[in-house]
Amino acid sequence: MSEEKGHYTLEEILEQANAWRAVLAYITGKEESIRAFFRDPAVDIIFSGCGSSYYLGIMASSIFQTITGMSARAVPSSEIFLFDKVVFAENRKYRLVSISRSGTTTEIIIARNFAKENYDLKELVISCYPDSELAKGGDEKLIAEKSQEKSVVMTKALTSMLLLAQLSAAIVSDNKEYQKELEALPERGEEVIKNFHSLAKSLGEDGCYDKFVFLGGGPYFGAACEVMLKLKEMALVSSQAFHMLEFRHGPKSVIDDKTLVGAFLSDSGKDYEVKLLEELRRLGASTFVFCDKADEGIKEVADYLVEIDSGLSEMARVGLYLPIAQLFAYYKAISRGINPDKPKHLDQVVEL
Ligand code: F1P
């Protein structure tokens, strides 16, 4: 066992493609129970989680709704028992999808018990631990067992549980084309990590930025939030996340020449997003742009470019960008002398 700083985090980031392979193998044979759980199209799906698992819920719910057409949204687990009328409307039927790497976070357990007692709903658990309290109490469970982690910060567990949610959407909607795209992720993931590891390292080690903003719309908003959290947790730097065009409405005031703006470009919003980046560069920001295929317009607004060239749709390729953003946060931590395996004030699980 190595004592090297950040050893587990780095290993877990780099082995993501294999973790996704294990998820793809695991899902085979689970199709019927997944279809049965989501059979009633008239229910609203609530994704619940804390921290990274909540941000994963934001990604998963926007993808799930887009792919299946079923109504889905994400809430932090605590909202379920503290503000249940905000979460659940009268005369609606719900299904709960509880997401937790550990399956033991106190709030998600309270939330599930509260929701089951008061709203008579069925629950699907997405986790990495089959014998956790959360997983054992779920009506259905999907477990990314090979994605259990030693590091406090979540990296491969997050993208593996995201893949479980994406595969569920493909299965429920019987969308073979989407399923095929998801099956291509491990191979694409390996290429992306190989091609952009050194960019993530050099930018992470670059000390000329002191403000970090991550932007994304649709399925990429949750990704922007997650990277914002990774930078805070691993590197202890101040970072923010916004919906892409929302950044114009006030937050752009913080921009100066020490600001790095990370942007996950979508297919749906690309033209607007490129114009926004033009504006932010005029204000002094540097841009760290994630896209699939970069045309001239994108190249002109990107100071640092992660062009993954996967050929995959915007709902399939979300997880491909995350290893590079995680590596960026990892090297930022290392260059600041911080051990990303054991971030300040944090434990792997928050148990109250
Ligand atoms: C959720 C979580 C993590 C966070 C922190 C504490 O855990 O909030 O996102 O990084 O280390 O726990 P879980 O419910 O997914 O196990």
Residue from 7, 8, 117, 97 nearest 53 by CA: 97
Mean pLDDT across 133-162: 96
- Alpha-carbon distance of 41 to 57, in angstroms, equals 19
3-state helix, strand, coil in the chain (%, to 5): 50, 15, 30
- Ligand 1 atom 10: residue of nearest CA: 153
φ and ψ at 139, to 5 degrees? -75, -35
- Ligand 1 atom 2: residue of nearest CA: 51
pLDDT of 317 > 70? The answer is: yes
pLDDT of 226 > 50? The answer is: yes
Mean residue pLDDT across the chain? 95
Under the banding of pLDDT at 50, 70 and 90, the label for residue 305 is: very high
Task: Quote the pLDDT of residue 40.
Answer: 87
Residue 53 Cβ contacting ligand 1 at under 6 Å: yes
Ligand 1 center–CA 302 separation, angstroms: 32
User: Which residue among 142, 225, 349 is best mutated to probe the pocket of ligand 1, counting the most ligand atoms within 8 A of its Cβ?
Assistant: 349
Residue 229, helix vs strand vs coil: helix
- Alpha-carbon distance of 215 to 177, in angstroms, equals 28
Q: Which two tokens stand for residue 25?
A: 């193998």
Under the banding of pLDDT at 50, 70 and 90, the label for residue 2 is: very low
Which atom of ligand 1 is nearest to 52's Cα?
Answer: 9
Task: Quote the pLDDT of residue 239.
Answer: 97
Ligand 1 center–CA 226 separation, angstroms: 12
- Alpha-carbon distance of 68 to 103, in angstroms, equals 26
Mean pLDDT across 33-58: 96
Under the banding of pLDDT at 50, 70 and 90, the label for residue 331 is: very high
Ligand 1 center–CA 91 separation, angstroms: 33
- Match 């960008």 to its residue by tokens: 321
Mean pLDDT across 166-178: 98
Ligand 1 center–CA 348 separation, angstroms: 6
Ligand 1 center–CA 121 separation, angstroms: 24
HSE-up of residue 115 (Cα within 13 Å, Cβ side)? 32
pLDDT of 8 > 70? The answer is: yes
Q: How many residues does the chain have?
A: 352
Percent of the chain with pLDDT over 90: 91
Residue from 149, 101, 155 nearest 325 by CA: 155
pLDDT of 1 > 50? The answer is: no
Mean pLDDT across 245-259: 95
